[in-house]
Amino acid sequence: MHFVDNWKQLFRTYSVWSMILGFIAFIGGELLYAVWGIEADPYPLGLAALVFFIAGFVGRFVKQDVGSAPVRRTLFIVAFSFGVIMLVKSLGGAVYENSVLPDVTPMSEEQAAWQTARITLAMADKPLVPKRATASGLASEAEFLRVAIPFVAKWEGLRLVAYRDIVGVWTICFGETKGVKAGDVRTQAECEAMLARELISYRRQMHRYFAPETLRIRLPVYRDTAFTDLGYNVGIGAAGTSTAVRRLNAGLIAESCEAITWYKKAGGRVVRGLLIRRGGDFDYCMKGLVA
């Protein structure tokens, strides 16, 4: 492999620096999570990468002479300024938020069960979904399943014969993966009962990551369903320690709903089905929220 003789001069061009910054925006969020476990809003990063790459691409077609210097400089400054703002908004904002949001310390199963029972009993004589969704107690398991089963089943789809999912994991029924192997077959009734058991289990596990105040006043049945669906879809470990949960525990309800939409990848790439599913989670999370 041979490099051009004046390759160092490339780093003096606006277009090359635009592409370098675009690459940083492209991998910045993944790198931040891989090294420090900090989640960053992917939308500003994607926008920054797009602007940088477009500026770099266009810059390659502008004649590199003295006369075009003002045009190239203006193009780079505009793209650079906008891109940096987006980078700071996403990466800088994520680092700052990570430092100020309360850490998530999951309760033990016994503590979570006691807390849920206490809140449920205290709220038993109050409306399930009051006028303000920020002032609601936990729904009963029966009421939760009434909302959650059709919601989750809609996204998962019913498959009575085991199949490999998008990342190669054997799956059956409504997205069940535990103990599933090739050749497994279930009836619809078995699948529905399995989904109900799993959703209750995932709900209880997610509740371990919520602060008592969140369980008491910030988790009406639809928001409860949205967070349970997130845990069911991406795993309790990822969902329970997510920015979405930390924001909800801090009382940032709308912001926590927005953070749910970040989980749209499978196998390292954005999947349209997950993008739509996260939109459904967002709608349920925001349902009844009064500004």
Q: Which helix (H) or strand (E) covers residue 150, if one does?
A: helix 141-156
Q: Which H or E run includes 273?
A: helix 272-286
Contacts of 14 (CB under 8 A, 6+ apart): 55, 56, 59, 72, 73, 75, 76
Query: Alpha-carbon torsion 147, 121, 129, 273, what sign?
Result: negative
- Is 39 tagged catalytic? no
65 a catalytic residue: no
Could you tell me how many helices (H) and strands (E) the chain has, helices first? 13, 4
Residue type, 275: L
Q: Which letter does DSSP use for residue 210 in this model?
A: S
Q: Out of 97, 156, 176, 198, which one is annotated catalytic?
A: 156
Q: Looking at 141, 165, 192, 255, which residue is catalytic?
A: 165
Report the distance separating Cα 70 and Cα 277, nearest Å.
46
Contacts with 98 (C-beta within 8 Å, 6 or more apart), sequence order: 36, 38, 243
* Catalytic residue set: 156, 165
